[in-house]
A and B are shown apart, each in its own frame.
Chain A
Amino acid sequence: MSLIVIENAGKDYISGEVKVPALKKVNLSIDEGKFISFVGPSGSGKTTLLNLIGCLDKPTEGKVFVSGVEVNRLDRKTSAKFRGDNLGFIFQNFNLIPVLTAYENVEYPLIMVQNMPPEKRRQKILDLLEKVDMTDQKNKCPSQLSGGQKQRVAIARALVTEPKLVLADEPTANLDHDTAYKVIGLMHNMKKEFNTTFIFATHDQKIVGEAEVIYTMEDGLITKRQDNKIAREGN
């Protein structure tokens, strides 16, 4: 069964009195446990598509199903709960909460979203921080961390709720070459370990090369699908 099904999804934005189509009748199906990349120039609709899949926005037309749920019909509260239970997000600017330490940032979704009791969450967070190699930095605030460290914390935060799907919008855009590779490798390992589906919107060829399936977008349309035989994971 497909994790994500998109049927004729379109999204228009209104700029002044002009209607700007950002996405045009997109049809798509993505299976579980995949490493997917959307590539294309700025304004091609990558981020818009990620926002629709991530229940952050609603399509002007068409339907979006995630885990069998038609997410475009969810109200604000149900949508938030669905995101908290099923999705993880990684942002270009890391978007860590500045007043919380690395540990607390990872802990945040477990407390504020899933209401997990302290005894259950502690070991889980420590394990995850160890996997992203941030145990020794766990008590530092984001302002004390490098870009790569912040993104590793963000990955841990995205995965701590064990989501079926992680959406990452330009996750390596603010990282240098080496750090970007390490972060991609880390995400790959996480994908293998947790069987989580990762979907990226990116310009970054490093990520594109790592994806199992690459969708190319132009002017709000998916113009090409390419299966990447030499993607990491040893396949």
Chain B
Amino acid sequence: MNNIIKIAWRNLLRYSRRTLLTSSLIAVGVALVIIFGGIGDSFKSEVTGILTNSNLGDIQIHKKGYVGSIDNLPLDLAIPEGGKKKIEALLDNNREVKAYSERIRFGAMISNFVQTTNIRLTAVYPEKESRTCPDLVKRIKEGDSNPDTFVKTGSIVIPQTIATGMNLKLESDVVLVATNKDGSVNGMTFKISGISENIMGPQGKDGYIHINDAKSLLRIENGEITEIAVKLKNFNRFKTVYKDIKNELSQMRGEKTGKPAFEVHSWEELSPFSSIAAIITLLIIVVRLVLISIVLISILNVMMMSVYERIGEIGTIASIGTLPSKILALFLTEGLILGFISAIIGNIIGILILLGLSAAKIKFTFGMMDLVLAPGIPLNEVALTTIIVVVISVLASLQPAIKASRMEPVEALRHI
């Protein structure tokens, strides 16, 4: 095999300009895949990190049917106190769960005594919410951003859009008017303790109040809530843990219906960004397909030319007794080496460019979010791209190699 590799390598060097051009083409393709993959992964993880750490959490648990009506923020689809305790026991026993936060989400009218508008509110225990969504307080640009006290009873954190629209300042008084699940209306006065910046996503423009205030405003006398957001210790194990929690919760059945009482959703199912992430993944696949085409066509072209130019040589080695299988191996090895070396060069170029981008820490804004482009090295992408290039190189070399191995020596020798 060493000799086949040696001869294949020297044949590649023999047509050095052609080898260099083909290799460069493949290397550029590989580098583009690596760069695109790295940037795409960086962008996805950055946005995902902001969304899950700022408001969504990694997983959310609701009463069955809640997410289907989530735009209305229905209070009649709340998790009852008994159910809440069971879920909390389950989460407390799960070693993969870092924190969780009970929430009551509802819609209300907010008034500054001159103007009135709609507001979506999330009522939380601030210390639990801060552990579940540690970046939430970073969004509070004015006012109290202490993780344990960012909403106290009687205070409210309002989104930037409402503060600007209604000309509200810190310490201003506002009135919240809300309808509870029985249809009765109640109002309470709050003092603005913070103004938060908006981010994209379903809870990106919510105001925050203390959960005890929500209970008073909505006249909730028992411990029912509408949502539990869950933060995992290791996001890389997200899929496994999500599946486990989903399975365990599916065992909790409604007494009357006998069907699962709760539903579990991942951040991907709740955030519109998951569609963007899917598009990025799709684009990476498209770039990979382009790379496959480049490799297939360029290697096929080079190997066909190589076989055509060396018909006489093939005749010689066949006539002195080289088995057809070895002639096949010789040309396949040529294609494989060309593909492998090109992939390595492309990987090196791609990795160097990604390291440069990572060092540059380019800042940009996406969907009202300030992001920093700091791509890591996508090792899976590097491995996958190398494998794809090598496999396609061998496949592209197959037809010319078979042609060479099946040549009749006597006919091949006539080409000299």
Contacts and interface: CB of A to CB of B under 8 A. Distances in A.
B189 interface: no
Interface of B: 3-4, 7, 10-11, 13-14, 312-313, 315-326, 408-410, 413, 416
For B13, B320, B324, B325, which residue has the most chain A Cβ atoms within 10 angstroms? Answer: B320
A81 B413 contact: no
Contact of B413 (A77, A91, A99): A91
B321 A95 contact: no
B7 A99 contact: yes
A95 B319 CA distance: 11
B324 A80 contact: yes
Taking residues whose C-beta sits less than 8 angstroms from the other chain, chain A's interface range is 20 to 34
Contacts of A161: 321
Nearest to B330: A112
Contact of A77 (B4, B320, B324, B408): B324
Interface stretch (A30-38, A49-57, A223-231): A49-57
A85 B409 CA distance: 16
A83 B320 contact: yes
A93 B416 contact: yes
B318 A80 contact: yes
Contacts of A83: 319-321
Contact of A84 (B7, B316, B320): B320
B413 A85 contact: no
A221 to B, nearest CB: 21
Interface in A122-144: none
A57 B324 contact: no
A84 B313 contact: no
A56 B322 contact: no
B167 to A, nearest CB: 82
Nearest to A157: B320
A81 B321 contact: yes
Given A99-B7, A99-B14, A100-B10, A109 B320 contact: yes
Interface string A149-161: 0000000011001
Interface in A72-102: 76-77, 80-85, 87-89, 91, 93, 95, 97-100
A173 B266 CA distance: 81
A93 B4 CA distance: 24
Contacts of A97: 7, 313, 316-317
